[in-house]
Structure 1
Amino acid sequence: MLHEGNWFPADEVARGAAYEMFADEPRPGFLPNPRPGARHRYRRFVHVTEVLAATGFGARQAAVVATGEQKLAEPLDRPLRMPVSRALDWAGLHRLSQQPAAANSAVAAIRRSATIRSGSRMVKVLSARQLVGYLHGWLPSGFCYREYDVAHLRTPAELGVLLGDGSEPDEVAFVLRWRAVDPCDYSVPLVDAYAGLVSIPPRDRLGPPVIGSGFAPASRHLIPEFVTADLADLPLTANASLAAFTPDGTEVTLYTYLAEQRGWTRMWGPQWRDLLLKLADAFPGDQEYFPVPPAPTRFVGRFRDGHYDAIADPPGEFRLAAKTRAARLPVESIARRTGYARWRDALCTIVRSEGGWVRVRPCRPCPETVARLGAQCIERGVFETWAPTSELVDAREIDIEYPL
């Protein structure tokens, strides 16, 4: 592949969204290759849009990006479309991306070119504490990113800019991966729609500020970010995974989600035990299986005039939730069922219930709403608090239908 005027041997990463380049001598940006007996001593990860030319199998993927075609078995997401010119070069565009942008600005138009389709691979960067939470039942919510846009970020230092719980980058970075069912589950955090998040003061939030341009705060990269619709939980799709990245860029799949069994199963071997040393003290590192408790947010499908719990395996497979293969019948329709309620004049989603109390999350947090509810920031952009069930108004479950 051709990068910055030089040809390098390379392999594809993340289904063609990035390349792993190799070199025999030290070069800027290259790290030692950790593979035992590797032919090339150094490597570097670059995004596919940084590649000027590619030969072999990767050339087909590069052509898809260049032409906008979507003809692969698992098509690539579309890259950002940027009208760079003498009046707006790359440096100027990056500066504008780090400022609030109105809906009709040039930056907002560029941001709208990054879209989600059914089957888009999404990622959320986690701290060790959050990893433990997801193993015990947390669901994807809040800020997230297309894997396509961050596939070249492979080290904890690079992924650390996307941490949302206020923690500092560590020696190991953890990532949750899942596939989007439908674009309606996501929105862009622009200042006109999320002015409340933009205006929340530092003392009341965790993680970096919400800029309002739709791009993540970053000194070097241009990373489009998304939030889940109404900041609500999304059910896990089949084959979601939890992975770790080491300082040399090595990726290790730690756990895979088994939708029929509603649990995480361990994938890592004893050679990777050191990656989990900094997890919670009570974390059972040798546990093979973590059952996921039922949650108010779930997939439901219609089958023969009845509604049942369902499993989503986008982009094309939606079936009844059943442990036996014979009962995994395709559903006639699929929807995300989410609980909503009003508390103290604020529309909230219901996260979970315990006794006479309900854990609620405001859909549009702002300084005034956060103060009125007494909500606490649990991660970037996401606030939660406990509310008495008796004080909730118009509590209901809403089905967000997906087109099949």
Structure 2
Amino acid sequence: MIGEDSELGADPLEPPLMAPLRRDLTWSAVQAMSQSAVHRDDPTLRRIRETAAVRRGTRMTKLLSPAQVAGHLGGWLPYGFCHRSRDIAHLTEPEQLTLLRTDGATDGRVAFTLRWRATDPADYEVPGNPAQPGLAALPGHHRIGAMVLGTGFTPSTDDLIPEYVTAGFADLPLPANAQLVAHVPGGDEVVLYTYQPEQHGWLRLAGPRWRGLLDELPGVSPDREYVPCTATGTARLVGLIDGKEYEAVADPPGEFRVRALTRAARYPVQTLSRRAEQALWRGVPCWVLQRDETWARLRLLRPNVDALGATGARCYERGVYEAWAPVDELADHHIADVAYQM
């Protein structure tokens, strides 16, 4: 049995990827299996993939383009494809990291990432059977970014990198102290901004030396020390204290509190749930991202060929399919709560 060799190996929040190597199952053989659709349901490969567990507090990373960084500064939430930070820690150069971007582009002298701690394992699933069986079958003209293998691993000729998607491609409420990070040539990391949930905005940490990195972000002023989010999140956390409901903030792994501007009012919540809108359109389950009296913007929970045919949904980034629909055509329109075990 061999696992990733890392100083993080002893961290219970970030268990290493483990593979039972032997004479007839070498590392190169496992890597080749991870790249083949033939082995999607191979029990050995599945057992290896299951060792890459997400736990409460596990560090997660999503590769971003400059435009996506600007979107998160404006209020976007984490969604779609992402990785455990430890599984890509060996990729330090921008040209290595940009291959994991979800918008299909691989250029740029700097790589950008969103990094956060997982609030709960229920927020993540493997992009393959049984959670997302239709992704790997989507034709190339309906895709952006790398194809989805369905094995639970990223397409790569050299690496064995487990990948995740947010459950049902949901938006996840951003936990406290999430970071927007730049990765520059030479392997250095620069934390550009850190998220302040009570103020719903980003505090700039990058000093004058790194001001040029901020110039690459469209519509972002490098001189602003604090960037308030202009968009309201499509998902939020709620919690109960003695039967009364409050908007909540997660600071994993151990702190879940009432969202309040004053520290004295940040009481720990007794329950915690993720809340968002769902609906059916033409029989296809969707998240309702925004709506007015006439139209609603929807995101497919389980993209597949039939769902795309029924809705005409368009791919906006790897695995993320959205469409606009008349509000009066929505069925089973409701508020969905995903309850976490505390």
TM-score (norm 1): 0.80
**Higher Rg of the two aligned structures:** 1
Partners of 2:190 and 2:131 lie apart in 1 by: 37
Partners of 2:97 and 2:198 lie apart in 1 by: 31
State the secondary structure of the residue aligned to 1:166: coil
| Shift, 1:242, TM fit | 0.3
CA contact (8 A) 1:125 1:174 kept: yes
Structure 1: give runs of 5+ residues left out of the alignment.
1-47, 52-57, 65-69
Quote the residue 2:115 is aligned against: 177
Counterpart check, 1:137 vs 2:75 = yes
Q: 1:78 aligns with which of 15, 22, 26?
A: 15
Counterpart check, 1:278 vs 2:233 = no
CA contact (8 A) 2:95 2:106 kept: no
| Shift, 1:162, TM fit | 1.0
Partners of 1:300 and 1:232 lie apart in 2 by: 16
Sequence identity (%): 46
Counterpart check, 1:342 vs 2:280 = yes
Deviations 1:318-361 (A, max 9, x none): 11000011111111111111211001110001222245322110
Counterparts of residues 47-126 of structure 1 (less than 5 Å): 49-50=4-5, 64=10, 75-100=12-37, 101-126=39-64
| Shift, 1:191, TM fit | 4.0
Deviations 1:230-287 (A, max 9, x none): 111100001001000001111100010001111111111121122233332x332222
Quote the residue 2:92 is aligned against: 154
State the secondary structure of the residue aligned to 1:195: coil
Quote the residue 2:174 is aligned against: 236
Partners of 1:49 and 1:373 lie apart in 2 by: 42
Partners of 2:148 and 2:315 lie apart in 1 by: 13
Higher RCO (C-alpha under 8 Å, 6+ residues apart): 2
For residue 138 of structure 2, what is the amino acid of its counterpart? I
Count of aligned positions: 338
Quote the residue 1:361 is aligned against: 299
Partners of 1:264 and 1:87 lie apart in 2 by: 51
| Shift, 1:90, TM fit | 1.1
Q: 2:326 aligns with which of 388, 397, 403?
A: 388
Partners of 2:179 and 2:207 lie apart in 1 by: 16
CA contact (8 A) 2:215 2:221 kept: no
State the secondary structure of the residue aligned to 1:236: coil
Partners of 1:264 and 1:276 lie apart in 2 by: 13
| Shift, 1:193, TM fit | 3.7
Structure 2: give runs of 5+ residues left out of the alignment.
none
Counterparts of residues 219-368 of structure 1 (less than 5 Å): 219-280=157-218, 282-292=219-229, 293-368=231-306
State the secondary structure of the residue aligned to 1:110: helix
| Shift, 1:218, TM fit | 1.2
Partners of 1:403 and 1:193 lie apart in 2 by: 20
CA contact (8 A) 1:156 1:169 kept: no
Partners of 1:366 and 1:93 lie apart in 2 by: 28
Deviates more, 1:384-393 or 1:203-212: 384-393
Give the root-mean-square deviation of aligned CA atoms: 1.6
CA contact (8 A) 1:161 1:217 kept: no
State the secondary structure of the residue aligned to 2:203: strand
CA contact (8 A) 2:13 2:55 kept: no
Q: 1:163 aligns with which of 95, 101, 119?
A: 101
| Shift, 1:104, TM fit | 4.5
TM-score (norm 2): 0.94
Partners of 1:247 and 1:214 lie apart in 2 by: 29
For residue 34 of structure 2, what is the amino acid of its counterpart? S
Partners of 1:269 and 1:276 lie apart in 2 by: 10
Partners of 2:298 and 2:137 lie apart in 1 by: 21
Quote the residue 1:200 is aligned against: 138
